[in-house]
A and B are shown apart, each in its own frame.
Chain A
Amino acid sequence: MPQRTVVVGSTSGLHARPAALFVKAAAAQATPVRLRVGERPSVDTRSILAVLAQRVKQGTEVTLEAEGENADAALDALAGLLARNLDEEAEQHA
């Protein structure tokens, strides 16, 4: 299964604004993408509740997984987003 491993770049991890941006981007993809943290079962990235419950902090390594013909595009888009520090960028655009 296509997958990407990324280190989460946002200051607040996958909480607050970065979590919201990530989930919104996941919902916009053509194919569902799942998020796996360590040995825990993977969760749907389109669910803010599931993503928050993973309690991902800045610097944590996470894995994204997807299947189907759009998988690579979706994985690249979401992995790129996770690697960025969305907290800092939000401030630059403010």
Chain B
Amino acid sequence: MLERSTLCGLGVCAGIAAGPVVRMGRPVALPAPRAVFDPHAELSAARQALKAVSADLADRAAGAAGPARDILDALSMVADDPLLAETVEQHIAGGADAAHALARALDGQAAVLREGGGYLAERAADLEDVRDRAVAVVLGAPMPGIPDPGHPFVLVADDLAPADTATLDPGRVLALVTVRGGPTSHTAILARSLGIPAVVAVSEALSIEDGTLISVDGSAGTVRVGVDPREAGGPRIRVRQPIEPGRTKDGYAIPLLLNIGSAQDIRSDAEGVGLLRTEFLFLGRDDVPSVDEQRAAYGQIFGAFSNKKVVIRTLDAGADKPLPFLGLPAEENPALGIRGLRTASMLPDVLEQQLAAIALAASDTEADVWVMAPMVATAQEAAGFAVRARRHGLAKVGVMVEIPSAALRARRILKHVDFLSIGTNDLGQYTMAADRQDGRLAELLDPWQPALLDLIAACARAGREAGKPVGVCGEAAADPLLAAALVGFGVSTLSMAAAAVPGVGAALAERTRAECEQLAEAVLAAGSPDEARFLALPHW
């Protein structure tokens, strides 16, 4: 038992959280084989154990949804498998006791799946999970699984099994500490995608008693045992994680850029900025900021990214984000009204001044400044914007793809501009005719909607053909599972909030470029968001 000490491990998700420990049952160690006098009793014990495991998993499946349900359902079928039952019977006939017969049968099946490689090899971990559960039942030990003590807790485990990751509730689990695991293990990716502070490779972790108050520091990789009760139960502190360059497992670079809305969001360790929103300068004002004022404000941000790319977007305001000086009347249907680049036809001077300020600020600094326009619907609009921007000496001019018409005509648009940046939130809204503000339509706005993925893939293809970069900013780029598929489509950069970068980076590092392409192909063939997401999960 450990009291008041500090344990060291490997921090895989930054942040600090403190709370009472609840340990996940370590898989029961197999005792030494017993001499068997009554094979019938062993057989019946082994069969009952498999039945109990199957029933328990089926129950959990019934209470779960989406991919988690499928994983648990499939595991339940494995426990109930006739081939497995037959193998267990053979081992018992050969003189094994129930626990060893189960372990050998499941290990044997796991080995067969491992030989199959790829998808099947990943299933082998599921068989080990079923083995641990069945052996626990036979030995009268509690079945392993995520405990539910009825209050928030710090989960301490040997490692997490696929079925556990499907049922982990980030509302309950304050932090994760595991004995095994590494920076790109399943547990680490899950922790990052859920934003739960996590430390792996803490060898003594399971010797901390249940209920002990501990503090987990996912940045330092330390676990303090026996902290003050006042410290425990406090809010989870999210800490900045370092940003590292985006690479696939085989070293193919995918720059992970930031979406920023003001100088406050600057991170000097980032690879660059994929979306600099300029609304911050204009909001809450009655007049248009002068060229000088804009030049200074943009220059402050550009200056933080010397020799790095900064993609700045011209003013995206209008019916949906009203600004007094635009003087636009209220509209019935603002999302479909005068917004984004469309305001430029009514107020060309605002865009002219902004382009002038951007060009001046770019020449003041060493940043590699790219400029793009929001809400472009046609190739003519794109061409018009490109002419205006280039007149100011801006070398890299692109447009956002947020409207399905632009995605469908990406090839033609790329004849006029140097790059595309796909805004998946608006593109989703317009593709599915579903208001982004309406929570009831969340399912339609899922970034995994096949129609949205088709449009993204079409843009990426057009970019590859033209030899011009296509980036994604928006929620889709921040989803670690989807990011790999986007790379597989041929997307060249991903842009997201700083907090999402480590998770996406870890997910990309898990796959080679060829594997991303395979995933992309599978995801495009999927019939629904759930199916697509399911194909990307390292699971069933």
Contact = CB atoms under 8 A, between A and B. Distances in A.
A16 B534 contact: yes
A48 B84 CA distance: 10
Interface string B45-89: 000000000000000000000000010011001100111100000
B263 interface: no
Contacts of B527: 11, 85, 87-88, 90-92
A17 B530 CA distance: 11
B540 A47 contact: no
Interface stretch (A34-42, A49-57, A67-75): A49-57
B123 interface: yes
Given A12-B535, A15-B119, A55-B116, A20 B70 contact: yes
A30 B537 CA distance: 35
Contact of B528 (A44, A55, A91): A91
B522 to A, nearest CB: 8
Contacts of A44: 82-83
Nearest to A85: B527
A52 B77 contact: no
Nearest to A50: B83
A66 interface: no
Contact of A20 (B77, B119, B526, B535): B77
A43 B112 CA distance: 15
A36 to B, nearest CB: 16
A94 B119 CA distance: 25
Contact of B77 (A24, A88, A94): A24
B120 interface: yes
Contacts of A87: 526-527, 531
B181 to A, nearest CB: 26
Given A20-B70, A87-B527, A94-B528, A52 B123 contact: yes
Contact of B540 (A16, A50, A92): A16
Interface in A59-94: 85, 87-88, 90-92, 94
A49 B540 CA distance: 12
A91 B531 contact: yes
Interface residues of A, number: 25
Give the interface SS of chain B, mostly helix, strand, loop or mixed: helix
B525 interface: yes
B116 A53 contact: yes
A44 B85 CA distance: 13
A44 B528 CA distance: 30
Interface residues of B, number: 26
Interface in A2-46: 11-12, 15-17, 20, 23-24, 43-44, 46
B167 interface: no
A17 B70 contact: yes
A49 B83 contact: yes
Contacts of A23: 77
Contacts of A90: 527-528, 531
B383 to A, nearest CB: 39
B216 to A, nearest CB: 35
A53 B82 contact: no
Contacts of B526: 11, 87
Interface string B502-540: 000000000000000000001001111011001100001
B109 interface: yes
Nearest to B443: A94
Given A16-B540, A20-B70, A94-B530, A49 B535 contact: no
A67 to B, nearest CB: 17
Name, among A12, A23, A44, A46, the residue most crowded by chain B CB atoms within 10 Å (CB to CB): A12
A49 B84 contact: yes
Contacts of A94: 528, 530
Contact of A49 (B73, B81, B119, B525): B81
B132 to A, nearest CB: 17
A26 B82 CA distance: 12
A24 B106 CA distance: 21
B120 A55 contact: yes
B113 interface: yes
Given A15-B119, A87-B526, A94-B528, A48 B109 contact: no
Contacts of A17: 70, 531, 534
B45 to A, nearest CB: 21
Nearest to B74: A20
A53 B77 contact: no
A17 B539 CA distance: 12
20 contacts: A11-B525, A12-B522, A16-B74, A17-B531, A17-B534, A20-B70, A20-B74, A23-B77, A44-B82, A44-B83, A47-B81, A47-B82, A48-B78, A49-B81, A53-B113, A87-B531, A90-B527, A90-B528, A91-B530, A92-B527
Interface of B: 70, 73-74, 77-78, 81-84, 109, 112-113, 116, 119-120, 123, 522, 525-528, 530-531, 534-535, 540
Given A17-B70, A48-B81, 5 more contacts: A24-B77, A47-B81, A47-B83, A50-B83, A94-B528
10 closest A-B pairs (Cβ-Cβ)? A91-B528, A91-B527, A47-B83, A88-B527, A48-B77, A50-B83, A11-B525, A49-B81, A87-B527, A49-B83
